[in-house]
Amino acid sequence: MAFPDVRGDFPILTRQARGGRRLNYLDSAATSHQPRHVLAAQDEFVRERYGAVGRGAHLLAEEATEAVDSARWDVARFVGADAGEIVWTENATAALNLVAAAMGAASQGIGGEEARRFALAEGDEIVITETEHHADIIPWQILARRTGAALRWIPVDDDGRLRLDDLSDIVGDRAKVVAFQHASNVTGVIHPVSAVVERARAVGALTVLDACQSAPHLSVDFPSLGVDFAAFSAHKMLGPTGIGALYGRRELLDALPPAVYGGSTVKTVTMTETTWLDAPAKFEAGSQPVVQAVGFGAAARYLTELGREGIENRDRELAGRLRRGVTSIDGVRLLGPVGGTGEPVIGLAAVEVEGVHPHDVGQVLDDAGIAVRVGHHCAQPLHARLGVQSSTRASTQVYTTDEDVDEFLEALAGVRGFFGAGGSS
Amino acid sequence: MSGLEQMYQQVIIDHARERHGHGLADSPGRVGESFQVNPVCGDEVRLRVAVDGDRITGVTWEGHGCSISQASVSVLHDLVEGATVRDAAEIAATFRALMDARGEPPDSETEELLGDGAAFVGVGRYPARIKCALLGWMALKDALIQATKEKT
């Protein structure tokens, strides 16, 4: 069955690009556009039901609370979880930081006896990977600094795949936590979550999954994947900015101490002591971005109604068209494997154009109405490992058409000529 | 001429390829050096100046980046090497003003002062790229401060 043409659902896609050209938006891995369903849900919430969530006894407070609770359920179901396992965060970055900061707090004795399982000290190890986004590197560097634990990482091969040959050494008896991404925002590689989870479990280490790039494209189910925590962000899956979520297994969220402190997180506060509410409330200090939460819920519903399996299949088609296409252009190097049957990748392609800096590539594409991302995509260690300083990335979403991809390929093929780099050099 | 062609004039593409002053070298006088990074893309420039009396005797640099940033440092080298510190400051200020001019063509006085630098007029229409063009000039400002500050 052909994937439906949903472009009509996305108002922004009707606007013009530079020079009056048709907008060809291929920057969805950076941020995706919102369908009118998501815009309408937020609009309706603000117009009809807006009030203080979780506090107040008036009608609006009650209806607003109900709307946000319901959004939490929508987002939870989207990843196979219960609402009690979903914590609102500002974005995926904040979710990853929350786990690392909470483990730091636990390491200082906060959270008492039940939080000791999260505590790190000298002699312990934190494991990340070489393909991580900066948001899944820096919090762990800081946690290592704070606790005296050592930071180790799983290396990648020349195509950005995790090299698991030394996994049992890298994730050893001293490993307390393993943080890794589900799918790469640079190479598109979908990592073998089960292999890492299995090893982490064998040594009693916690797992934290950065699902930022997988949640929009794959049928992600965190309990089935077996991870302990996972982070994802609304704005990469057709929702608004300003909201993301941390998934945590219930018993872990119950034991994990909060790391940001404030109103609506507590049972009792005296001048010297505080007792926390149950998760997720204890992690959501202060007024929350409730309008965005409603939008997040609507985005999850939209994708669910569109059909996760269909989205995944369509994504593979687009990924194939895009990645095969760029590899057939002279002087263009694809970062990561071409992918295909047996090695699925998500719908993006980051490329190096020989002799032309990504900024210049992006500018020429922009002139043709094509929006791509240029730079290191917050993955400097991975770029260094792949032997490039930065790259140009095109990424797809449900609204991407074959024509969008073909137009990008054609424009990309002309870039070197524009800069006089396409000759015999 | 499209906005794109206006930005990437041939003189810019040539400078990006030729990179005048590329390769750090020593010159007589007091030396100042500055390292600048464009956090948006990770582009880098390390620029070294030597100042003898009130004259800039050497401007050399290394780094990597887009054609706009590379060409801009190349042009900077041509404009500033051999100039007085005061003239260099005026050239730098004029170049910055050109970036802020949103693509408005410069007057003949500006054109004369900036030479090849006047070709960067088209960059002003693309706010995201102004930083690229200014990367080397930020390094120059900082390096001159290093080279001319009183030794303590």
Chain B residues close to A358, C-beta within 8 Å: 41, 66
Collect all residues with Cβ–Cβ distance below 8 Å to A75 and sequence separation of at least 6. A86, A245, A296, A297, A300
pLDDT at A264: 87
For residues B133-144, average pLDDT: 96
Find out whether B54 and B84 touch, Cβ atoms under 8 Å. Answer: yes
A359–B132: do the CB atoms touch at under 8 Å? yes
> Where does the pLDDT of residue B43 fall: very low under 50, low under 70, confident under 90, or very high at 90 and above?
confident
Q: Which of A378, A386, A411, A415 is catalytic?
A: A378
Tokens 């730079």, residue located: A375
pLDDT at B3: 82
| Average pLDDT of every residue of chain A | 96
Q: Which domains does chain A have, with CATH numbers?
A: 7-30+308-415 (3.90.1150.10), 41-304 (3.40.640.10)
Task: Judge whether residue B152 has pLDDT over 60.
Answer: no
Dist. CA B55–CA B49, nearest whole Å = 10
Find out whether B42 and A380 touch, Cβ atoms under 8 Å. Answer: yes
Find out whether A391 and A351 touch, Cβ atoms under 8 Å. Answer: yes
With a CB-CB cutoff of 8 Å, which residues 349-408 of chain A face chain B? 356-360, 363-364, 367, 374-376, 380, 389-390
Give the neighbor-by-neighbor strand order of the sheet with A125-129. A86-89, A244-248, A229-233, A206-210, A175-181, A125-129, A150-154
Domain CATH number, residue B33: 3.90.1010.10
Please compute, for residue A136, the number of CA atoms within 13 A of its CA located in the half-sphere on the CB side: 32
Whether B8 and chain A come into contact, CB under 8 Å, resolves to: yes
Find out whether A336 and A69 touch, Cβ atoms under 8 Å. Answer: no
Collect all residues with Cβ–Cβ distance below 8 Å to A388 and sequence separation of at least 6. A335, A352
Would you say the ipTM is above 0.90?
no
Q: What is the pLDDT of residues A247-288, one digit of tens each?
A: 999 999 999 999 999 988 999 999 999 999 999 999 999 999
Q: What is the pLDDT of residues A84-95, one digit of tens each?
A: 999 999 999 999
In A, minimum Cα distance to B68 occurs at: A360
Task: Judge whether residue A82 has pLDDT over 60.
Answer: yes
Tokens 């058409």, residue located: A401
The closest of A241, A196, A190 to A211, measured between CA atoms, is A190
Domains identified in chain B, total number? 1
What share of chain A has pLDDT > 90, as a percent? 95
Is residue A212 among the annotated active site residues?
no
Collect all residues with Cβ–Cβ distance below 8 Å to B87 and sequence separation of at least 6. none
Task: Judge whether residue A158 has pLDDT over 50.
Answer: yes
The closest of A302, A328, A324, A333 to A402, measured between CA atoms, is A324
Chain B residues close to A375, C-beta within 8 Å: 40-42
Domain region containing B59: 3-148
* Radius of gyration of chain B measured on its C-alpha atoms: 15
Q: What is the pLDDT of residues A172-200, one digit of tens each?
A: 999 999 999 999 999 999 999 999 999 99
Dist. CA A207–CA A198, nearest whole Å = 10
With a CB-CB cutoff of 8 Å, which residues 251-310 of chain A face chain B? none
Task: Judge whether residue B151 has pLDDT over 70.
Answer: no
Residue of B38, B43, B62 best to disrupt the A interface, most CBs of A under 10 A: B43
Q: Find the length of chain A.
A: 425
Dist. CA A296–CA B43, nearest whole Å = 35
Collect all residues with Cβ–Cβ distance below 8 Å to B52 and sequence separation of at least 6. B27, B28, B29, B30
Chain A residues close to B132, C-beta within 8 Å: 359
> Where does the pLDDT of residue B81 fall: very low under 50, low under 70, confident under 90, or very high at 90 and above?
very high
Dist. CA A302–CA A208, nearest whole Å = 26
